Chains A and B, each alone.
Chain A
C-alpha cells in the first residue's frame, strides 16, 4: 500500500509542472498574449494567439494556459514553458471569460449565445450547455467544486448553477450590468460587481439571498473584476473608468482603501501567496503590480493593446 501511494505521488509530482513564475496577459486588440517574468517584471515574449483574446487561465496542474479567442470562437492552449500555442479547440460562439474547475473542466461564458458551456480542454469535448441570460460574462467556480456562478450582463442576473448536474439552482437579480463574480473561500458566499451604479453585492450561494450591498465611493467607478484576498478578509475590485483598485472589507463591504492604477482597469490576478495583485489597465496598455501588504504600486509593465485578462503561474 505504501509503495502504491509513493508511486502515485511520484506520478502526480512529475505530471504537475514546476511554476514558471510567469504572468499571461491577453491583449484584446493585439490578438496576442504578453508573457511577463514576474520575478523581473519584464515582458519576455509576445505570442500571437488568435482574434480578440479575452479570458485567460491556468490549468490546475499548471501544464497549460487557456485563452479565450473570442472572434475565433475557440480556446487557444499555450505551453507555459515554451510560450507557444500548442492547440486550439472550438468553444461555442464568442467565448468571453471562463473559470476552471479543479477537475480541469472549463466553464465558459458564450457572450453572443446567452449560454454557458462546459468543455474538457484535454479533448475539446463539449460536456454540457446551460441557458443563461443575454451577454453572459463573469464565471466563477466555488472552491468546493459544487457550484458555478455566471453573470448575464444584459439581463442583470447572476445564475447559480449546481455541479455536476449543470442545472440552475437560483437566478438572482443584481445591479445593472453585472460583470464579474467570485466565491468566498468556504464556497458559501458570492460577490458580484455591477458596472452601472458602481455596486458590489454579497449573496448567499445556497439561497441566492442578498446579504449586503455597497456602492463604491467614486462616481466614476464602473467595477469589473473582483477577487478575494488569500485570507478571505479583503475584496479587491477593479474600478474600471475610476482608474483605481478599491479594497473592501469582505465581511462588511466597508471601503478600506483605493489605489490609483492605469486607465480603465478591468482584469485582476493575485499571486499564490497573496502578496501581489496584478491589474490590466486597458486604456494605458499596461499591467500594474501592487504590493498587497503596503497597498502601494510596485511596478508598471507595458504590454500589448488593451490588455483584458491576466493569469499567474507561480
Chain B
C-alpha cells in the first residue's frame, strides 16, 4: 500500500512537472507582442469598418511575425499620453488633436477625417494625412476637365477598382462587412495597414522612431499599383480615381497636382 502510494505520488509529480514545462513552451511559442492602436471616431462609420478590415489583414501578417495588433476605440484623447499606444487613427478634425499631438511627439497620428470643415493647417511632424488635401481633389477634377473631358469626381477609392489586386481587396471587404469599400473605408483600412507594414519592417523595439520610419521608409502600395509616400507636409501622395456616373474613367496622381508654391501646403 505504502509502495503504491509512493508510485502514484511519483507519477503525479512527473505529470505536474511535464504539464508545467509544456505550458511554458507553448506560451513561449505563442508569444506575440501586443500592439495597441487607438481609434478616435464613430464606430458606425465607414472609416471604422475599414480600419477593422485593416486590422484583420494586419494580423494575418502579424501572426507569422509574432505581432498582435489591437484596434481599440477611444473617446478621451488624454488616454494617449496615459497609455502610449503605438499609433492613433483619428477621423476627428485635426484641430481637436492639437494638444494630444504636441504631448506625444513620438506617437504617429494617422488622420483619416474627410476635412469637410475649413482646414486647420496643423503641421506637426507626427500628424500624417491619409486623405488628400481638399485642394488636391479640386485640382484633380479641374485637370481632368481641362483636357476636354466630361466633368468627373476625384476619389480615393471605388468599389469597382480592379487593378493591382484592388478587386481582391474589394471582394474581401464586401464579404466581411456586406458593404462596398469607398474612400472613407479605404482610408480606415489604409491607416492600419500602412502602420502595420511599417512596424513589421522597422520592428516594434527598433530605436528608429516609427514617426521617422513612416516619413522616410514607407513601403505600402494601398493596392494602387505603386509605392505611396508622405510628402514634406505629411500628406500621402497617391493615385486618385476619377469617377463619372459611378464608373472609373481615369486615374491621376496627387503628386502631379499641387506644388509647394501653390500655398496649399503651407503651415500656419
Contact = CB atoms under 8 A, between A and B. Distances in A.
Given A134-B57, A155-B64, A111 B168 contact: yes
Interface stretch (B124-132, B176-184, B220-228, B235-243): B220-228
A128 interface: no
Contacts of A153: 165
Contact of A156 (B168, B172, B197): B197
B225 A157 contact: no
B60 A196 contact: no
Nearest to B169: A154
Interface string A44-57: 00000000000000
Contacts of A155: 57, 60-61, 64
Nearest to A135: B168
A114 B60 contact: yes
B35 interface: no
B169 to A, nearest CB: 8
A138 interface: no
10 closest A-B pairs by beta carbon, nearest first, are A171-B64, A155-B61, A196-B221, A134-B60, A176-B221, A176-B219, A155-B60, A197-B227, A196-B227, A135-B168
A228 B91 CA distance: 48
A112 B165 CA distance: 11
A92 interface: no
B65 interface: yes
B201 interface: yes
Nearest to A153: B165
A307 interface: no
Which secondary structure characterizes the binding site on chain B?
helix
A164 to B, nearest CB: 21
A175 interface: yes
B122 interface: no
Interface in B50-85: 57, 60-61, 64-65
B173 to A, nearest CB: 12
A196 to B, nearest CB: 4
B200 interface: yes
A133 interface: yes
Contacts of A154: 57, 60, 165, 168-169
10 contacts: A111-B168, A133-B64, A168-B64, A171-B65, A173-B200, A173-B201, A176-B197, A176-B227, A177-B165, A197-B219
A159 interface: yes
Contacts of B168: 111-112, 135, 154
Interface in B121-156: none
A87 to B, nearest CB: 29
Contact of A133 (B61, B172, B219): B61
A135 B165 contact: yes
Given A114-B60, A155-B61, A177-B221, A196 B226 contact: yes
Contacts of B171: 112
B201 to A, nearest CB: 6
Residue among A135, A171, A196 with the highest chain B CB neighbour number at 10 A: A196
